[in-house]
Amino acid sequence: MRETPNRCDADVAIIGAGPVGLTLALLLARNGCSVLLFERHAKPFAEPRAVGIDDETLRTWQACGVLETIAPYMLAGPAGAVVFTYRDAKGKGFFSLVQNKGSLGHPEGAVFLQPPTEEALRSALVKESNVRFLVGHEVAQLTQTSTETRTEGQTLDGSPFSYTARYLVGCDGARSQVREQAGIAFPGIDCPEAWLILDVFDNEWHEGFTLEQGVEVWCEPCRTTVTVPLPCGYRRWEILLRKDEVGTLVNDDAAIRKRIAQQRPQDNPTIIRRKEIRFSARQAERYRAGRMLIAGDAAHVTPPFAAQGLVSGIRDVANLAWKLIAVLEKRQPDALLDTYDVERRPHQRKMIDLALFLGRVMMPRTHLEALSVRSFLRLIQALPARIKGRFVLRGGHLQPHLKAGCIGPGGGSYFPQNDVLDARGRAVPFDTLLGTGFAVVNFSTLQQEAVFPTSVQTLLSKGTSHLQFGRDFSDPDNAYAAFAGETVLIRPDRIIHTRLATS
């Protein structure tokens, strides 16, 4: 582990090894940062949680080098396949969405198994020499001075511990101690509806299984049911409970099977995990208090109707990791960390509002409301693909398009990822050439890059990649034609910082 200049135990302490904390630890450690990762549980949560992820998350996990490890626990329909169907009470489909290829080099939407994915992230992490992964460490007390943070608590056998780090990030979930001890309020609402969440194993499962109809939603008044086919023969059911089912259906296997059979009589499921749950929509009033920051569920929780909980947490840490590194390496002042809040909080607010809106669409309370939802969605179904695309739960219109923060002229949106030919003529995804830090890509045939202002130059580390069109890569499919004649500065989270004309 690298020595930290002010004799702290590490550069960054991360509290919580859920998917968000694990991803942050990987992003920091792979770029030379020393990390202490505290987690109270020996194993990942076994409760049914996220099943939907997107191309932004997959691209971040690509940067962490873990895509191959998680591939067995992920499933995505091919471009053009139906991935989402709304059905009426009789089971007739009245609205569907197809998989889009997307622009980030991965399927726009995919389903996955959260617990084994977390296991895979954990096993990738233990190979990183820059990380001390302190499992069985329950954090109780957090303090900070102007130069460091201190984390104190107890191990499972009751031994006290105390460590210092220059910065501390709370990835410790919805009941975050970090958020509470940093004095950050968490306003929002608790939704009144109770849902039964089930993960089942389909006993008829066989190799070669596909996404079939993808996600199916039966949109009946007060009886919404959602099902999601998952990898390895698993299936998720999310059932809106009637008042008389609250607290009872969860423990009644026969009644659960009967309820499932109404929608899919062909299934023969074994119930693996179950939980009755009420969702919340809350967001921290700020994401930073001095040297303490929060990310993932510690900073925001949302109902899962837009599948934007975990994926937003991964966006958080992709945004935060390189900023922490730039400040720790003294390339940038501490004030760069303020742009984390500026860039992430407004976008997350939109995702929460979207989820609340979709909740209203998915949970009609009366026959009249159900009829209105059906009419509304049928109308959208009939619209041209370009407009209908705005109702897809993935893709460009859900991605951040930054207007403020650490960006320059022409910046703020993701740099696309397509296959290009490298200097040896091999087809590779562009990100493999970009590396893990900043990248300057000259798309002009002129060999001289555009010159960035000094304020921008200071962002760049020694490891910045400089790529020249025609020398380091070529673009036979013209996938990057929109950048012709430009020098593009790309941040480590793949957001374009600045576009300048090369000549």
Ligand X SMILES: Cc1cc2nc3c(=O)[nH]c(=O)nc-3n(C[C@H](O)[C@H](O)[C@H](O)COP(=O)(O)OP(=O)(O)OC[C@H]3O[C@@H](n4cnc5c(N)ncnc54)[C@H](O)[C@@H]3O)c2cc1C
* Residue 323 lies near ligand X (rule: CB under 6 A): no
Pairing of strands 82-87, 215-218: parallel
Q: Which is nearer to ligand X, 326 or 362 (CB)?
A: 362
DSSP structure class, residue 172: -
Identify the CA nearest to 172 among candidates 164, 160, 184. Answer: 184
**Residue 282 CB partners (closer than 8 Å, separation 6+):** 174, 186, 187, 188, 189, 300, 301
The only residue of 8, 14, 18, 364 in contact with ligand X, by rule CB under 6 A? 18
Do the Cβ atoms of 35 and 11 come closer than 8 Å? yes
Give the tokens for residue 176: 């975050």
Question: Nearest distance from residue 60's CB to ligand X, in Å?
Answer: 13
Neighbours of 127 (CB within 10 A): 10
User: Which long-range CB contacts under 8 A does 450-456 form with residues at least 24 apart?
Assistant: 450/486, 450/487, 450/500, 450/501, 450/502, 452/408, 452/489, 452/498, 452/500, 456/408, 456/489, 456/497, 456/498
* Residue 311 lies near ligand X (rule: CB under 6 A): yes
Question: Nearest distance from residue 323's CB to ligand X, in Å?
Answer: 18
* Residue 493 lies near ligand X (rule: CB under 6 A): no
The residues in 374-433 that bind ligand X, with binding defined as CB under 6 A, are: none
Q: Which is nearer to ligand X, 84 or 438 (CB)?
A: 84
Q: Which is nearer to ligand X, 54 or 449 (CB)?
A: 54
Provide the sign of the torsion angle of the four alpha carbons 235, 236, 240, 243, taken in this order. positive
**Residue 91 CB partners (closer than 8 Å, separation 6+):** 218, 263
Question: Nearest distance from residue 455's CB to ligand X, in Å?
Answer: 33
Closest residue by beta carbon to ligand X: 18
The beta strands (E) that lie in 305-418 are given as: none
CA distance 29 to 22: 10
According to DSSP, the residues that pair with 271 across neighbouring strands are 200
Q: Which is nearer to ligand X, 173 or 395 (CB)?
A: 173
DSSP class per residue in 279-300 = -EEEE-S-SEETTEEE-GGGTE
* Residue 355 lies near ligand X (rule: CB under 6 A): no
Identify the CA nearest to 320 among candidates 352, 355, 345. Answer: 345
Do the Cβ atoms of 14 and 171 come closer than 8 Å? yes
DSSP class per residue in 452-487 = PPHHHHTT--TT-EEEEBTTTEE-TT-TTGGGTTEE
* Residue 297 lies near ligand X (rule: CB under 6 A): yes
Query: Pattern of binders to ligand X over 117-156, x per CB under 6 A?
Result: ---------------------xx-----------------
CA distance 382 to 217: 19
The residues in 196-235 that bind ligand X, with binding defined as CB under 6 A, are: 197
Q: Please choose, out of 122-130, 244-252, 286-294, 308-316, the segment that lies near ligand X by the rule CB under 6 A.
A: 308-316
Question: Nearest distance from residue 479's CB to ligand X, in Å?
Answer: 28
Give the tokens for residue 151: 């984390």
CA distance 156 to 154: 7
Query: Pattern of binders to ligand X over 152-191, x per CB under 6 A?
Result: -------------------xxx---x--------------
Q: Which is nearer to ligand X, 19 or 437 (CB)?
A: 19
Question: Nearest distance from residue 33's CB to ligand X, in Å?
Answer: 19
Do the Cβ atoms of 312 and 300 come closer than 8 Å? yes
The only residue of 109, 313, 359, 405 in contact with ligand X, by rule CB under 6 A? 313
Name the residue with tokens 């650490």: 406
Q: How many residues does the chain have?
A: 503
Q: Which is nearer to ligand X, 171 or 373 (CB)?
A: 171
The only residue of 8, 16, 291, 489 in contact with ligand X, by rule CB under 6 A? 16
Question: Nearest distance from residue 304's CB to ligand X, in Å?
Answer: 4
Q: Which is nearer to ligand X, 107 or 437 (CB)?
A: 107
Q: Which is nearer to ligand X, 38 or 167 (CB)?
A: 38
* Residue 310 lies near ligand X (rule: CB under 6 A): yes
Question: Nearest distance from residue 428's CB to ligand X, in Å?
Answer: 28
**Rg, the chain, Cα only:** 23
The only residue of 8, 12, 13, 15 in contact with ligand X, by rule CB under 6 A? 15
Question: Nearest distance from residue 329's CB to ligand X, in Å?
Answer: 26
Question: Nearest distance from residue 403's CB to ligand X, in Å?
Answer: 24
Give the tokens for residue 386: 């370009």
The only residue of 4, 21, 231, 362 in contact with ligand X, by rule CB under 6 A? 21
The residues in 31-60 that bind ligand X, with binding defined as CB under 6 A, are: 38-41, 48-52
The only residue of 19, 359, 395, 412 in contact with ligand X, by rule CB under 6 A? 19
Q: Which is nearer to ligand X, 63 or 398 (CB)?
A: 398
Question: Nearest distance from residue 275's CB to ligand X, in Å?
Answer: 7
Kindly state the number of chain residues that form the binding site for ligand X, as judged by CB under 6 A. 33
* 184 backbone dihedrals φ, ψ, rounded to 5°: -100, 125
Question: Nearest distance from residue 228's CB to ligand X, in Å?
Answer: 8
Q: Which is nearer to ligand X, 117 or 442 (CB)?
A: 117
Q: What is the binding site for ligand X (CB under 6 A)? A: 15-21, 38-41, 48-52, 138-139, 171-173, 177, 197, 277, 296-297, 304, 307-311, 313
